[in-house]
């Protein structure tokens, strides 16, 4: 298959697929080598420029042709969004803990968050955002990790596509502000400062 | 009402409201509101009554209970030693350690809270998942071409009334073991012995099974004996003379 024909074939496959297609899968479907597929994807990506409503993107370990982010609002007018798809702030925070510390058990999640994570973890399991990742030793607590569905939902290329956690750490002044709020609320004495 | 009376009643109260999950929660709240004089509260009786309660606790519940009782003990101790007198006040080093841990935990968790905020901004409901997610087989089925004549034929087939469901199974003949026992007794009374194969000749498997149960019942009562010389061969039922119920 010539390169020009290959990028058209990949365009058709990505258009039809209901899920991201990995390079390996694209190679199988297009009967081409990984190098050829990657070059064709680059050609395809260049074709969907800024003037297009679509883009070629790598997400959840695969490739998709999708609507551009700035068109999300107009796309939402076309599709129904059940309210129960929304994640609560507690669920988002728990997801963040799991995503950065996976595989991690419920007791460890509760230790990081400072509150029980039973119900939240159960809800995330039901929604397919996380999955079981084996136990700690024999008979230990079950550990959990995020799923490709999580990566798809949050637009991540893979499990390692998160910003470094150090980017979110509090600065010295911000940490002191937290202590000050505790003092103001009567939870810390002035001597602790 | 005495202090002990105050303790006994709430412990027997199966209270479960939005704010209270049990009598101990209610008790702690009343103490904090100073509607119960904590100094008069017999904590030892309270702990013993709680431990003797009928419920079995899982580890989280036990932990909460211990925390609750410890809070009551601490409150009472502070009340009894008059900690509120500022002159003699000395900070509790353990409590300060706990508070410092709280601050450290909040600071350690803050990056994950911020990461959660970042994730919220990436949430695919409004952003990332912007490609078709209809399963291919379903999409293919929706696109299958159908001529108008095919659709007309399909509708006509749908409009034909389906055959009435068979109710035959509702009128199936019921077999009564008592009746078979009575028939068996009659046959034994007439002939002294009967062949199981002859008894069940031409009957279905259910009737054969019920007849065998009737034979066993007569044998159990001592009214008949069973003989089967050859495995899987015919069974001969003999009438037992003494005490034969039919005579």
Q: Is the pLDDT confidence value at B224 over 60?
A: yes
Min Cα–Cα distance to chain B from A106, Å: 13
> With pLDDT > 70 as the criterion, what percentage of chain B qualifies?
63
Q: Is the pLDDT confidence value at B11 over 50?
A: no
- Mean pLDDT of all residues in A168-174: 83
Q: Which residues of A touch B90 (CB under 8 A)?
A: none
- A156 DSSP 8-state letter: -
Q: Where are the domains of chain A?
A: 3-76, 83-162
Q: Which residue from A16, A73, A93 is facing B112, i.e. has the nearest CB? A: A93
Per-residue model confidence (pLDDT) at position B4: 40
Kindly state the tokens that stand for B170.
Answer: 């509702």
Kindly state whether A157 is in contact with chain B, defined as any CB-CB distance less than 8 angstroms.
no
DSSP H stretches of helix in B14-131: 23-32, 43-51, 59-81, 93-122
- Nearest residue of A to residue B91, measured between CA atoms: A189
Query: What ipTM was predicted for this assembly?
Result: 0.73
Environment class of B130 (CB within 10 Å of its CB; exposed 0-12, middle 13-18, buried 19+): buried
Higher pLDDT, A44 or A5: A44
Kindly state whether A12 is in contact with chain B, defined as any CB-CB distance less than 8 angstroms.
no
Q: What is the full DSSP assignment across B102-129?
A: HHHHHHHHHHHHHHHHHHHHH-TTTSS-
**Regarding the domain delimited by A83-162, which CATH topology (the fold level of the hierarchy) does it fall under?**
Arc Repressor Mutant, subunit A (1.10.10)
Could you tell me the CATH superfamily of domain B177-239? Answer: Structural maintenance of chromosome 1. Chain E (1.10.10.580)
Kindly state the tokens that stand for A149.
Answer: 């569905």
Min Cα–Cα distance to chain A from B51, Å: 24
Best residue in B99, B119, B136, B142 for a mutation probing chain A (most A CBs within 10 Å): B119
CATH number among 3.90.950.10, 2.40.30.10, 3.40.50.1000, 1.10.10.10, domain A3-76: 1.10.10.10
- Mean pLDDT of all residues in B118-129: 67
CB of A162 within 8 A of CB of A100?
yes
Q: Where are the domains of chain B?
A: 3-84, 177-239
- Mean pLDDT of all residues in B179-192: 89
pLDDT in tens, B96-120: 676 677 778 888 888 888 888 888 8
Per-residue model confidence (pLDDT) at position A37: 93
pLDDT bucket at A100, cuts 50 / 70 / 90: very high
Q: Which residue from B96, B124, B133 is facing A18, i.e. has the nearest CB? A: B133
Q: Do A3-76 and A83-162 agree at the fold level?
A: yes
CB of B244 within 8 A of CB of B228?
no
Q: Which of A158-167, B62-71, B207-216 has the lowest mean pLDDT?
A: B62-71
- For chains A and B, CB pairs below 8 A equal 132
pLDDT in tens, B51-73: 776 566 666 667 767 777 777 77
Q: Which residues of B touch A73 (CB under 8 A)?
A: 126
């Amino acid at each position: 298959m010539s390169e020009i024909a290959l990028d058209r074939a990949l365009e058709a496959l990505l258009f039809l697929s209901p899920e991201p297609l990995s390079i390996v899968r694209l190679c199988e479907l297009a009967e081409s080598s990984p190098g050829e597929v990657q070059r064709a994807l680059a050609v395809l990506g260049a074709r969907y420029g800024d003037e297009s409503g679509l883009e070629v993107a790598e997400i959840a370990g695969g490739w998709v042709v999708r609507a551009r982010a700035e068109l999300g609002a107009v796309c939402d007018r076309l599709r129904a969004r059940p309210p129960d798809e929304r994640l609560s702030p507690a669920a988002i925070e728990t997801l963040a803990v799991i995503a950065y510390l996976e595989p991690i058990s419920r007791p460890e999640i509760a230790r990081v968050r400072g509150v029980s994570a039973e119900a939240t973890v159960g809800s995330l399991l039901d929604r397919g955002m996380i999955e079981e990742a084996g136990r700690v030793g024999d008979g230990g607590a079950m550990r959990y990790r995020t799923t490709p569905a999580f990566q798809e939902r949050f637009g991540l290329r893979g499990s390692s596509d998160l910003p470094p956690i150090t980017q979110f750490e509090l600065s010295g002044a911000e940490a002191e502000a937290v202590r000050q709020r505790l003092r103001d609320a009567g939870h810390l004495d002035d001597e602790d400062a | 009402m005495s202090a002990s009376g105050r303790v006994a009643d709430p412990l027997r109260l199966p209270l479960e409201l939005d704010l209270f999950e049990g009598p101990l929660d209610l008790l702690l709240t009343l103490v904090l509101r100073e509607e119960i004089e904590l100094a008069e509260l017999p904590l030892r009786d309270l702990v013993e009554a709680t431990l003797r309660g009928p419920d079995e606790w899982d580890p989280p519940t036990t932990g909460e209970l211990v925390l609750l009782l410890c809070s009551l003990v601490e409150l009472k101790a502070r009340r009894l030693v008059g900690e509120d007198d500022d002159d003699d006040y000395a900070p509790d080093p353990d409590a300060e350690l706990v508070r410092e841990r709280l601050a450290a935990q909040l600071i350690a968790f803050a990056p994950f809270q911020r990461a959660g905020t970042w994730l919220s901004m990436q949430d695919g409901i409004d952003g990332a998942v912007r490609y078709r997610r209809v399963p291919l087989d379903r999409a293919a089925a929706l696109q299958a071409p159908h001529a108008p004549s095919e659709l007309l034929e399909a509708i006509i087939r749908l409009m034909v009334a389906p055959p009435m469901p068979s109710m035959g199974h509702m009128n199936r003949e019921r077999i009564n073991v008592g009746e078979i026992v009575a028939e068996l007794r009659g046959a034994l009374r007439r002939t002294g012995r009967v062949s199981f194969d002859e008894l069940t000749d031409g009957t279905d498997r259910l009737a054969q099974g019920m007849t065998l149960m009737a034979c066993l019942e007569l044998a159990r009562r001592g009214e008949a004996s069973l003989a089967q010389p050859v495995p899987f061969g015919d069974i001969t039922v003999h009438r037992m003379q003494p005490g034969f119920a039919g005579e």
